[in-house]
């Protein structure tokens, strides 16, 4: 799964118009984050002179000021993809989305737990001088659908694309990030508390008081914003949905009561039934018991239902899941000593090379059939016109001739259109299986290395880490080329 987001770089003034663009390019092309530059690529420009070429394009069309460029980030799910696959997906994304009009530099950063890629491109087209224009909804219409399509081709999971609302886009990414770190998401809890206060309040002021009683900080400006305990920033209520804007909340306070949430009762015929019921009377408290109970309440021994403290334990829950994974790793591999752990890590390293080689073999085999797939794609585009021609519509004669030419090309190589589609499906399934196998091995290997790092003492750590880095570099050099 890859989450995409797009940022823009504004002009910083007349003394150095491309300052932010230059800084962005320098940041994304950091050798320490890109395996000494191995994970850097460019389209319509050279990597070493990308900024100068972008600046020359701006000068050529007289558009050196205002917005300088754009920055797209693709964030992949942890342990789902390796650096090379992420680089290939990013390259294809750039070619499909920007390839015909804009100079762009794309890189992959693998120095964190989550592999992610950066795409920095010029705001001015080198073809016609038109500036790139991001419209509201473009993320849902173009950017994320392309990302989802590429992720599907490489056997990765995808995310649902909303209706293009910008606020929903950012909230979706934020919620996904929080789910990635733990199972607690603020938005769900805030909406539950808002619904509860709306139901209990008689007016808007009482609604705000109830929120304060629950431990919320309330900020009233142009928009109502709240901040529960443990949350670092205020959250505008209107970003939670149309039902939580200021006007909607006031209207709901006036109209809603407990009956609003009850299901409509269906009309049924009354039925008489007999049943035996044992009635138990609740024991009444004596005067002394009542006074004692009231005293307990006044001195604070009896408290209201406390505010939810789930946020405090999110990190503990994440650590617990990690420890559980490490425990299952030791049990499943029957590890009883450090030597056995080293042996398992070595075995998993070899297995990772094997599955990577297998995936590379499938990828190369699929690429050898790329010409067949391109012909099949062209025939798919002509298929509606061919059907119309076969039904007697001579308007599509030219398309029919193209169809026959492409059909003969396939037959000359011993394939029909149906066989090519079946071959494409076969490679897609095999590649998805290989990717899933690689992800599983990669995850197991990371767990083993994590256990090893927690076992070795700090005095030995530096030497081991240096040796591990050397082995990692050697392993990458030994990876088969695609």
Chain length of the chain: 482
Q: Which pLDDT score, from 0 to 100, does residue 401 have?
A: 92
User: What strands lie across the sheet with 224-227, from one edge to the other?
Assistant: 217-220, 224-227, 235-236
Asked if residues 131 and 67 have their Cβ atoms less than 8 Å apart, the reply is yes
What's the pLDDT at 458? Answer: 47
Domain spans of the chain, in order of start: 2-180, 185-260, 331-478
Cβ proximity of 83 and 110 under 8 Å: yes
Q: What is the pLDDT of residue 183?
A: 39
User: Which pLDDT does position 66 carry in this prediction?
Assistant: 82
3-state secondary structure the chain: CEEEEEEEECCCCCCCCCHHHHHHHHHHCCHHHCCCCCCEEEECCCCCCHHHHHHHHHHHCCCCCCCCEEEEEEEECCCCCCHHHHHHHHHHHHHHHCCCCCCEEEEEECCCCCCEEEEEEECECCCCCCECCCCCCHHHHHHHHHHHHHHHHCCCCCCCCCCCCHHHHHHHHHHHHHHHHCCCCHHHHHHHHHHHHHHHCCCHHHHHHHHHHCCCEEEECCCEEEECCCCCCCEEHHHHCHHHCHHHHHHHHHHCCHHHHCCCCCCCCCCCCCCCCCCCCCCCCCHHHHHHHHHHHHCCCCCCCCCCCHHHHHHHHHHHHHHHHHHHHHHHCCCCCHHHHHHHHHHHHHHHHHHHHHHHHHHHHHHHCHHHHHHHHHHHHHHHHHHHHHCCCHHHHHHHHHHHHHHHHHHHCCCCHHHHHHHHHHHHHHHHHHHHHHHHHHHHHHHHHHHHHHHCCHHHHHHHHHHHHHHHHHHHHHCCCC
Q: What is the DSSP letter of 278?
A: -
Q: Over its length of 482 residues, how does the chain's per-residue pLDDT go in tens digits?
A: 567 778 777 776 666 777 888 888 888 888 888 888 888 998 888 888 888 888 888 888 888 888 888 888 888 887 788 888 889 999 999 888 887 888 999 999 888 777 888 999 998 888 888 888 888 777 888 888 888 888 888 878 777 765 444 444 455 555 555 555 443 467 888 988 898 888 888 888 889 988 988 889 999 888 899 998 878 889 999 888 888 998 899 888 888 765 555 555 556 677 777 777 776 666 677 777 777 777 777 777 666 655 566 667 778 888 899 899 999 999 999 998 889 999 999 999 999 999 999 999 999 999 999 999 999 999 988 888 888 888 777 778 888 999 999 999 999 999 999 999 999 999 999 999 999 999 999 999 999 999 998 887 544 444 545 555 555 555 555 555 54
d(CA 39, CA 107): 6
pLDDT at 461: 47
pLDDT at 345: 94
Largest CA distance in the chain: 102
Could you tell me the pTM of the whole model?
0.40
HSE-CB for 182 with a 13 A CA cutoff:
14
Neighbouring CB atoms inside 10 A of 460's CB total: 10
Per CATH, is 2-180 categorized as 3.20.20.70?
Answer: no
Per-residue model confidence (pLDDT) at position 459: 41
């Amino acid at each position: 799964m890859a989450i995409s987001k797009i940022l823009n770089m504004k002009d910083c003034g007349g003394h150095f118009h491309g300052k932010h663009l230059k800084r962005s390019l320098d940041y994304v092309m950091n050798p320490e984050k890109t395996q000494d530059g191995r994970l850097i690529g460019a389209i319509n420009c050279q990597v070493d002179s990308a900024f100068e070429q972008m600046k020359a394009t701006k000068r050529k069309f007289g558009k050196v000021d205002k917005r300088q460029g754009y920055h797209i980030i693709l964030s992949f799910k942890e342990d789902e993809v390796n650096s090379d696959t992420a680089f290939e997906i990013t390259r294809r994304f750039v070619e499909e989305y920007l390839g015909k009009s804009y100079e762009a530099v794309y890189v992959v950063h693998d120095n964190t737990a989550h592999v992610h890629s950066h795409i920095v491109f010029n705001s001015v087209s080198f073809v016609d001088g038109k500036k790139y224009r991001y419209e509201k909804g473009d993320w849902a219409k173009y950017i994320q659908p392309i990302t989802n399509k590429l992720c599907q081709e490489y056997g990765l999971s995808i995310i649902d694309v909303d209706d293009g609302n910008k606020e929903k886009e950012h909230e979706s990414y934020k919620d996904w990030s929080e789910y990635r770190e733990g199972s607690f998401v603020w938005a769900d809890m805030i909406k539950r508390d808002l619904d509860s206060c709306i139901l209990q309040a008689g007016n808007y002021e009482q609604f705000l008081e109830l929120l304060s009683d629950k431990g919320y900080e309330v900020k009233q400006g142009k928009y109502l914003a709240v901040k529960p305990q443990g949350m670092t920033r205020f959250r505008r209520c209107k970003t939670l949905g149309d039902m939580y804007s200021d006007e909607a909340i006031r209207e709901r306070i006036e109209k809603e009561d407990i009956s609003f949430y009850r299901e409509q009762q269906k009309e049924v015929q009354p039925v008489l039934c007999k049943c035996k019921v044992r009635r138990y009377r609740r024991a009444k408290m004596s005067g002394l018991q009542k006074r004692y109970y009231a005293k307990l309440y006044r001195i604070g021994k009896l408290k209201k239902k406390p505010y939810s403290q789930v946020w405090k334990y999110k990190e503990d829950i994440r650590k617990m899941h990690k420890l559980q994974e490490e425990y299952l790793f030791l049990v499943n591999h029957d590890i009883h000593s450090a030597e056995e752990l080293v042996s398992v890590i070595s075995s998993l390293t070899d297995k990772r090379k094997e599955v990577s080689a297998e995936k590379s073999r499938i990828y190369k085999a699929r690429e050898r059939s790329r010409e067949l797939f391109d012909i099949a794609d062209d025939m798919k585009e002509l298929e509606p016109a061919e059907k119309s021609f076969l039904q007697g519509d001579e308007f599509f004669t030219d398309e029919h001739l193209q169809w026959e030419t492409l059909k003969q090309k396939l037959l000359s190589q011993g394939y029909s259109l149906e066989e090519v589609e079946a071959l494409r499906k076969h490679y897609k399934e095999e590649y998805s299986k290989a990717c899933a196998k690689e992800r599983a091995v990669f995850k197991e290997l990371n767990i083993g290395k994590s256990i090893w790092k927690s076992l070795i003492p700090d005095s030995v750590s530096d030497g081991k880490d240096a040796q591990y880095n050397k082995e990692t570099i050697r392993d990458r050099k030994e990876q088969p080329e695609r």
